[in-house]
Amino acid sequence: MTHSRRDFLRTAALALPQGLAAAGQAERPNILFIMSDDHAAHAISAYSDRLIRTPNLDKLGQEGVRCDRVYCTNSICTPSRAAIMTGQYSHINGVPVFNAFDPARPNVAKYLQAAGYHTLMIGKWHLGSNPTGFDDWEVLPGQGVYHNPIFYTATEEKEYPGYVTDITTDLMLQRLEKRPKDKPFFAMLHHKAPHRPWDPSERLGAIWRKRQIAEPPTLWDDYATRTDAVKECRQKVFDDMTRRDLKLVAPGNLQGKERNAWLQHKPDSVEIEVDGRKKTLTGMELKKWKYQRYMQDYLACCASIDENIGRVLEWLDKNKLRENTMVIYTSDQGFFLGDHGLYDKRFMYEESDRMPFLVRWPRGIKPGTTTSALGINCDFAPTFLELAGAPVPADMQGRSLLPVLQGKKPKDWRTSFYYRYYHDPGDHNTAAHYGVRTETHKLIYFWRRDQWECFDLVKDPQELRNIYADPAEQATVKKLKEELYRLKKEAKDTEDRFADSKDWPKESSYVSPKKQQNP
Ligand code: CA
């Protein structure tokens, strides 16, 4: 795009989206994009009441729209962030794994800035290069830490006392207070939580440590009928949680490397104290205990996000910004919460691939609505651009969700989408795969193993029964394969770029000079 700023503004004035025209006003809406890291939709009560109450997040859906089928095109942190910023798939935006995003590339913040928006980015950036396209930014180095985190700007680095979710919110509200009032804003508020190692605040951690969390129906999945991929992955709650994950305390005499090795160990027996007496957990008892520990901490991190969303919504009300600010809540992907016996993400299975997507914009979205239209993370950038009245560049691969959010799903809206995950073996030995999800089915190809899985999502929403080899399903499998290769071609994934790890761009992540890392 080579539009001058004046061209952008002229185009913007001509191309006001339907929602704005219908609302009979020309003032462009503010966009507040709130994204957490690894927050599965089923850990938000707007989507499921099994695990947690999240009244503030739910409010976004009650006062706006809850999208039930928004998915990640490559379910892992850095690649999802790159897809959100560019509106492009990994093989086009150059970020298939944990490599750095090229800051010289166009991104949605640059387009919005050129269209006259004041642009802000606060929190977890995790793209391995400094943010570009923002009037102001302050981000965590790499993954960042939960307690007393360091943040950095283009020129300085500062440690803030307190809990990261509170601090990230504070930093954003301070920036919004000081923003230029003659411009609409585009603000990206990115939380670190509830990413591993799931360190809650002291207050919420103590509350959740006493709670008994319901087990998911697929916790004990035996993977019968499934491929080697799920059997061989190392993201299993029962086998792959470390002592650090489980918040076991290292003996006081251990230091440095020894202490670290102790913490990274995956225990098959654990000594705990019950009513002042020591007890050793093994076998089934230990498995159940590991699940509880994991979920207590994870959900306590989510509870802090919910509280802080409440603070942000109050601030918008107090500043009379409720009506014309689109507030979006999402996560860079979903997460396994013991589903299929797993934690982490990566797989194209529902719990990991689905992103929460709650949107409130009183001036343009009817409250209390829901949609099951298939959305993908590449749609976010085109959505913001349409909302701002700015043109959507032709090289963006997503499509604006704005009409869908307004209950006017276009007749030619997608009925399937393409997915591709590369990071194999990676930390969790998760097999690389690509696949297609339609309204009713999912077909997954683990290309290095030459193994397939196929699920009927209507009859088997929990994805337990692989029907790929079922003689009665061969016509369905054939149609899904055709759709998969049609979409692969449409997404321009024809050269299989990055298919082999030797072709990956060099992995990279900003590490603060102080090397602040999780202990
Ligand atoms: Ca993530």
Delineate the domains of the chain, giving CATH numbers in brackets. 28-199+295-417 (3.40.720.10), 421-503 (3.30.1120.10)
Tell which wins on pLDDT, 359 or 426.
359
Distance, in Å, from the CA atom of 111 to the CA atom of 150, rounded to the nearest integer, reads 29
Distance 355 CA to ligand 1 centre (A): 10
Distance 42 CA to ligand 1 centre (A): 15
Distance, in Å, from the CA atom of 347 to the CA atom of 444, rounded to the nearest integer, reads 10
Distance 197 CA to ligand 1 centre (A): 12
What average pLDDT does the segment 491-516 reach?
Answer: 77
What average pLDDT does the segment 112-136 reach?
Answer: 97
Mean pLDDT of the chain: 93
Distance 195 CA to ligand 1 centre (A): 7
- 273 close to 279: Cβ distance less than 8 angstroms: yes
Confidence of residue 427 (pLDDT cuts 50, 70, 90): confident
Distance 43 CA to ligand 1 centre (A): 14
- 57 close to 299: Cβ distance less than 8 angstroms: no
Percent of the chain predicted with pLDDT > 90: 89
Per-residue confidence (pLDDT) for residue 7, from 0 to 100: 40
What average pLDDT does the segment 306-330 reach?
Answer: 98
Per-residue confidence (pLDDT) for residue 506, from 0 to 100: 83
Distance 7 CA to ligand 1 centre (A): 36
279: β partners: 272
Confidence of residue 249 (pLDDT cuts 50, 70, 90): very high
Distance 470 CA to ligand 1 centre (A): 35
Q: Please say if the pLDDT value at position 519 is more than 50.
A: no
Distance 332 CA to ligand 1 centre (A): 5
Q: What are phi and psi of 490, to 5 degrees?
A: -60, -35
Distance 128 CA to ligand 1 centre (A): 14
Task: Indicate the DSSP class of residue 222.
Answer: -
Distance 320 CA to ligand 1 centre (A): 32
Distance 216 CA to ligand 1 centre (A): 21
Side-chain-side CA neighbours of residue 410 (13 Å): 10
Is the pTM value of this prediction over 0.85? yes
Distance 431 CA to ligand 1 centre (A): 18
Distance 76 CA to ligand 1 centre (A): 6
Distance, in Å, from the CA atom of 123 to the CA atom of 377, rounded to the nearest integer, reads 19
Tell me which long-range contacts 467-473 makes (C-beta under 8 A, separation of at least 24): 468/443
What average pLDDT does the segment 50-74 reach?
Answer: 98
Distances (CA, A) of 492 to 38, 158, 471, 496: 28, 42, 32, 9
Dihedral sign of CA atoms 301, 303, 307, 310 in order: positive
- 62 close to 368: Cβ distance less than 8 angstroms: yes
What average pLDDT does the segment 64-91 reach?
Answer: 98
3-state SS class at 420: strand
Helix (H) or strand (E) holding 326: strand 325-331
Distance 196 CA to ligand 1 centre (A): 9
Confidence of residue 11 (pLDDT cuts 50, 70, 90): very low
Per-residue confidence (pLDDT) for residue 176, from 0 to 100: 98
Distance 329 CA to ligand 1 centre (A): 14
Distance 37 CA to ligand 1 centre (A): 4
Distance 99 CA to ligand 1 centre (A): 14
Distance 333 CA to ligand 1 centre (A): 6
Any idea how long the chain is? 519
Residue 396, Cβ neighbours under 10 Å: how many?
20
What average pLDDT does the segment 422-448 reach?
Answer: 96
Distance 40 CA to ligand 1 centre (A): 10
Confidence of residue 8 (pLDDT cuts 50, 70, 90): very low
Confidence of residue 26 (pLDDT cuts 50, 70, 90): low
Dihedral, 257, 263, 269, 274 alpha carbons, nearest 10: 130
Distance, in Å, from the CA atom of 401 to the CA atom of 69, rounded to the nearest integer, reads 12
Distance 85 CA to ligand 1 centre (A): 15
What average pLDDT does the segment 135-159 reach?
Answer: 95
Distance 318 CA to ligand 1 centre (A): 32
Residue 405, Cβ neighbours under 10 Å: how many?
28
Distance 142 CA to ligand 1 centre (A): 12
Confidence of residue 21 (pLDDT cuts 50, 70, 90): very low
Q: Which residues of 110-145 are buried (b: 16+ CB within 10 A; e: fewer)?
A: bbbbbbbbbbbbbbbbbbbbbbbbbbbbbbbbbbbb
Q: Which distant-in-sequence residues (6+ apart) come within 8 Å of 390 by Cβ?
A: 8, 11, 12, 15, 111, 112, 114, 115
